[in-house]
DNA sequence: CCTTATTGTAAAATGACTTTACGAAATAAA
DNA sequence: TTTATTTCGTAAAGTCATTTTACAATAAGG
């Protein structure tokens, strides 16, 4: 059975993927985490938070950053980030505020924005606990450790990339 | 230092993330895999392959599936999938072909589409080897194993989800 | 057979961007 | 300091992926 046939086939419930296909695994798990965060946010009453807003509500969260710097960080155009910031500002989740000196206005989370952030953290903490229990703490720690190593490796090979 | 302050802070080069933030780790690694696949496809000469096409070129690859079933599998509307299929058909990467009986037309990868699939597999195999070397085979195996476990767990809790 | 749900498309609307553009500000060069 | 150049923030228009609305053609169920 060729590698192509293996992947081409519809998934049998008990079918296992072969080594090279961790792409699909990563995607599936990542999508689940993301949709859980989204659901948690909505369940917490922030119904107007949209999926695209994750571009801003992702690590590292904005805390006194210049719009253009934020754009670079999230790998978007200044205009695209500006579009999202404007929207999030209207929803009351971020603020543009001049810091000390009559410097330019920087981007901060508002109080409500920080509530969203906390909601995300709580969701992730719960998921962490649940999965660590399910998988076994030792193995899950290895998993997280490898993930951390990979993300560091990846970030240094792709300079100026953090989102 | 509160959990919020931790995440809010701009990343120092040698900064470590705390436990709950594997969301960011997953995202970073997944994005790297995806952009590598994209680059591999383009480097292989398929310059007209667009990012959105990954919706169709993802596990499980279409191999005689009904459009509406594909839409359900990839969690998109029938119209959205149809839009992509039409595009990929014009580019010569997929085919609509009636199978035995004058049944309805099903979706298959074309020969060129299979070349793209092989390109993706090659890219993933190379990445697999590179990372296993870097991380250490035993630990990387644990990593993949946990990933597999999580993706299975996630899929059964979210029925009809495979993309 | 008739009724009801599912399918494949089309057309229009929406959302999330990118591209083009430009004046205002900051930085660097002279 | 003055000038030149780059970076910045935004606006306006365009593009692309996707959803919504709609409908006729099948298929499935009773």
Q: Cβ distance A110 to A104 under 8 Å?
A: no
**ω before B60 within 30° of 0 (cis)?**
yes
User: Contacts of strand C, CB cut-off 7 Å?
Assistant: A 50-52, 55, 76-77, 79-80, 83-84, 87, 103-104; B 66-69, 78-79, 82, 96, 104-105
**Cβ contacts of A134 within 8 Å, gap of 6 or more:** B149, B153
Question: pLDDT-based confidence at A101, cuts 50/70/90?
Answer: low
The tens digit of pLDDT for each residue in A32-80 reads 999 999 999 999 999 999 999 999 999 999 999 999 999 999 999 999 9
The tens digit of pLDDT for each residue in A103-153 reads 789 999 999 999 999 999 999 999 999 999 999 999 999 999 999 999 999
**CB contacts, 8 Å: B14 with chain A:** none
What pLDDT is attached to residue A103? Answer: 72
The pLDDT of residue A16 is above 70? no
What pLDDT is attached to residue A14? Answer: 38
Q: Cβ distance A149 to B135 under 8 Å?
A: yes
Q: Is the pTM of this model over 0.85?
A: yes
CA distance A102 to chain B (A): 22
């Amino acid at each position: 059975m060729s590698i192509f046939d293996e992947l081409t086939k519809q998934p049998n419930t008990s079918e296992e993927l072969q080594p090279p296909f961790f792409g699909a695994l990563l995607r599936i798990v990542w999508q689940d985490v993301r949709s859980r965060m989204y659901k948690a946010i909505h369940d917490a009453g922030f119904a107007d938070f949209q999926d695209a807003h994750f571009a801003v509500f992702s690590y590292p969260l904005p805390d006194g950053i210049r719009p253009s710097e934020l754009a670079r960080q999230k790998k978007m155009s200044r205009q695209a980030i500006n579009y999202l910031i404007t929207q999030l500002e209207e929803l009351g989740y971020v603020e543009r505020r001049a810091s000390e000196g009559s410097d330019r206005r920087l981007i901060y989370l508002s109080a409500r924005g920080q509530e969203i952030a906390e909601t995300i953290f709580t969701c992730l903490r719960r998921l962490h606990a649940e999965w660590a229990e399910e998988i076994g703490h030792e193995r899950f720690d290895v998993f997280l450790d490898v993930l951390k190593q990979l993300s560091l490796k990846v970030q240094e090979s792709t300079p100026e990339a953090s989102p």
